[in-house]
Amino acid sequence: MTEQYVKDKVILVTGGGGGIGAEIAKLAAAEGAKVVINDLGGSVDGEGADGGRAQQIADEIGANGGEAVANGGSIAEWDDAQAMVQQAVDTFGRIDGVINVAGILRDRIFHKMTRDDWDSVLGVHLTGYFNVSRSAAEHFRKQSSGSFVHFTSNSGLIGNIGQANYAAAKMGIVGLSKSIALDMARYRVRSNIISPSAFTRMTETIPTNDPTKAAHVERQKAMLPEKIAPLCVYLMSDHAEDITAQVFYCRANEIMLMSQTRPMRSVHRDGGWSCQTLHEHGIPALKPSFYELERSRQVFTWDPV
């Protein structure tokens, strides 16, 4: 009999009502987990709410012999985050994993970005991921086990145009995950990051008003959301008990381990630096190692197979 990798584990998936989140929820259930599917059901920019999306995925899981319940709370709200974790405990007796997928977009070129554009995106991605993770953390601490997977983006790791709010939130999530991994290692709690690339409602919003952008969207259509799910579910399993504080990039059939910020090159001068010595010696010594001003598609120049 084929092993079920997360058999009897209780996993909360935020943003589980569609796209990547729904595929993760369905695979987790197929691998034996009991799943709480959270989805506010709003539009890509976070407006509106439709709890039916989460219920639809829960019903689909149930029809296939799995166990799942729906939750329509907003992860941006502390009380809602507490309630969805408590729902997992009340319904299934415990909570073993949190997969933070939920997100919104409010793309705007920086000099036109509004305070609401900023606050809304940070509120869901960064504050929301904190809210849910913090709510689960006490349960994980008491049982000396648990796993987090948080979604970042290449918009944060590398950069994209018109996404200062989204990029800032997604890089903040990398720092959040690393801090969780450090703080909770003593309780055997793990925290990892996935940067996904798949065609979803969010990538459908990419403008296609020139041939280059149109070609990029066409390539995205080949990146199916279900390809992201196996790594997420595996990181919830006991087989991944020694994997923490890592950043993965996943698209189509590729999984990449991403680098993390470390010193690349250094310069030293007895007595310290002045503007003149920096200009004459310090910066010229460092400059060969400077990063180019690149967008993610300029770094990942090959099509996934």
Show which residues are catalytic. Answer: 166
**Is-contact 7 42, C-beta < 8 A?**
no
Strands, sheet with 254-257, edge to edge from the N-terminal-most edge strand: 67-71, 34-38, 10-14, 97-100, 146-151, 189-197, 247-251, 254-257
**Encoding tokens for residue 85?**
């974790």
d(CA 129, CA 244): 17
Contact present, 103 and 91 (Cβ < 8 Å)? no
What CA–CA distance (Å, rounded) separates 127 from 70? 22
Going by C-beta distance under 8 Å and a sequence separation of 6 or more, which residues neighbour residue 93?
10
For residue 49, the tally of other CB atoms under 10 A from its CB is 15
3-class state of residue 244 by DSSP: coil
- CB-CB neighbours of 117 under 10 Å: 18
DSSP designation for 209: S
E-only strand ranges, the chain? 10-14, 34-38, 67-71, 97-100, 146-151, 189-197, 247-251, 254-257
